[in-house]
Amino acid sequence: MTSSVTDESVFAYGTLLFPEIVEALIGRVPTMKEATLSGYRRCYIDDPKRVAKGPAITPEQGSSVLGKVLVGLNARELRILDFYESNAKGYEIAHETVTFSDGSGSASVKVYVADETLRLSLSKDGWSEADFAAKHLNYYLSERIPKMKIDFPAVFAE
């Protein structure tokens, strides 16, 4: 069974798993449904030029990534999330099918995937949500996102 989730939904597997980051970006926390994306591996970006070691996903047969689908996003919210991911550089948009953990089926959703250049900077190690929270979450909330809002006000406009 395919869910009614549509392209207004985004599969979050990294920083967007944190409700406080989503709220800082779009001003609310949408419904988040746990889901699995098959055929990808999540790892952290091992690039010394990046302040925070955020995650990226890359295709890998036999692997899967547990994440959450952000449901019911409007055009403004999608624009902000697209900018947030593209501003980080190295991500491209794909549409993939995820399977919901609650057994309610599957859906095609938007997902941000590492591009070929970013793949060169990916660690062989997995990305840790707990490690990110302890070391980098405050930076995103107190510096990165506020700076984006100051530098690019049109992106965040109503």
pLDDT tens-place string over residues 72-87: 999 999 999 999 988 7
Q: How far apart are alpha carbons 99 and 25 in whole angstroms?
A: 26
Judge whether residue 148 has pLDDT over 50. Answer: yes
The SS3 of residue 47 is coil
**What are the catalytic residues?**
85
Write down the pLDDT at residue 54: 85
Q: Residue 7 — pLDDT band, cuts 50, 70, 90?
A: low
Q: How far apart are alpha carbons 119 and 49 in whole angstroms?
A: 15
Q: How far apart are alpha carbons 155 and 148 in whole angstroms?
A: 9
Write down the pLDDT at residue 139: 94
CATH topology of domain 10-156: Hypothetical upf0131 protein ytfp (3.10.490)
Judge whether residue 2 has pLDDT over 70. Answer: no
- The reported pTM is 0.91
Q: What is the pLDDT of residues 42-97, one digit of tens each?
A: 998 988 887 777 899 999 999 999 999 999 999 999 999 999 988 778 899 999 99
Q: Of 36, 15, 26, 141, which is closest to residue 88 (Cα–Cα)?
A: 15
The SS3 of residue 117 is helix
Q: How does DSSP classify residue 53? A: -
Q: How far apart are alpha carbons 85 and 143 in whole angstroms?
A: 16
Q: Which tokens go with 60?
A: 């890998």
Q: Which tokens go with 69?
A: 């689908």
* Residue carrying the six token digits 């979450």: 137
Q: Residue 3 — pLDDT band, cuts 50, 70, 90?
A: very low
